[in-house]
Amino acid sequence: MTHQPEALSPAPKKLPRLVLSQDGLGQAPAIYAFPPNRATLGGTAYLIVGEVNILVDCPAWDKTNQEFIQTQGGIEFLFITHRGAIAQAKELQQSFGCQIVVQEQEAYLLPGLQLSPFQRDMDLSNDSQAIWTPGYSPGSACLYYKPLQGVLFSGRHLLPRPDGQLALIRQAKTFHWPRQQRSLQQLVQRFSPSTLEIICPGANTGFLRGRSCIESAYAQLVAAMADSP
């Protein structure tokens, strides 16, 4: 039995949208994107429906999103890409009994919760792997999902620019810019055009101008590394 918190914020106007699926109609494996969450400064959370269900970052905590997750079979894991995406992690764990996967340097921000902290890499399933990509924050991390031609959930480590191209974006709150650059280089070395086709960024999705994700992902990684000062 799951626990439902007493108060939920009003339902959003938009439902989660289908980003990718095996047949284009939502057949598993499938990926859904939630509307931007004000509690995470406009961050975009994703739901992977597959061998195990994984929620990447926290969507707005409201009845519509809660019911949507339930209709998809709940979640086994909540994966946190960076400290700014924690938001309603406690409520999500109470409702769905999910394990929270977070890089060990961000774990102290989630006291009292059931965590699976990792150092560098961690397999969540046969198809998914957490990857430490420090720089934006000390425990910034990406999630790699092997099906659907290879998908990388980049959090705020890599974001679309206003022209829709993928980039490292240096911000006032960036923890360590050279480390963030090295993290990108390590991703380029880790993947190839045959293992990485899609990137789902954790913010700035409005810059995609109607697209649901970034395609030709490996080429975009290489271009982002070339453009990084």
Residue 56: give its domain's CATH number: 3.60.15.10
Contacts of residue 229, defined as CB under 8 A and 6 or more positions apart, other chains included, come to none
Residue that has been written with the tokens 């960024």 in this structure: 201
Q: Is 148 helix (H, G, I), strand (E, B) or coil?
A: coil
Q: pTM of this prediction?
A: 0.92
Torsion of the alpha carbons at 135, 140, 145 and 148, rounded to the nearest 10: -60
* Residue 24 main-chain phi, psi, to 5 deg: 80, 0
Does the bond joining 117 to the residue before it have cis omega, within 30 degrees of 0?
A: no
What is the chain's pLDDT, residue by residue, as a tens digit (229 residues)? 444 554 555 544 688 999 999 888 888 899 999 999 999 989 999 999 999 999 999 999 999 999 999 999 999 999 999 999 999 999 999 999 999 999 999 999 999 999 999 999 999 999 999 999 999 999 999 999 999 999 999 999 999 999 888 999 998 889 999 999 999 999 999 999 999 999 999 999 888 887 879 999 999 999 998 887 6
Query: Is 75 part of any domain?
Result: yes
Q: Is the dihedral of CA 201, 205, 207, 213 positive or negative?
A: positive
Report residue 90 CA to chain centroid gap: 17
Query: Is 7 part of any domain?
Result: no
Task: Report the number of distinct structural domains present in the chain.
Answer: 1
| Full domain range(s) for residue 160 | 17-227
Query: Is 153 part of any domain?
Result: yes
**Count of CB atoms within 10 A of residue 110's CB?**
18
Query: Is 52 part of any domain?
Result: yes
Query: Is 62 part of any domain?
Result: yes
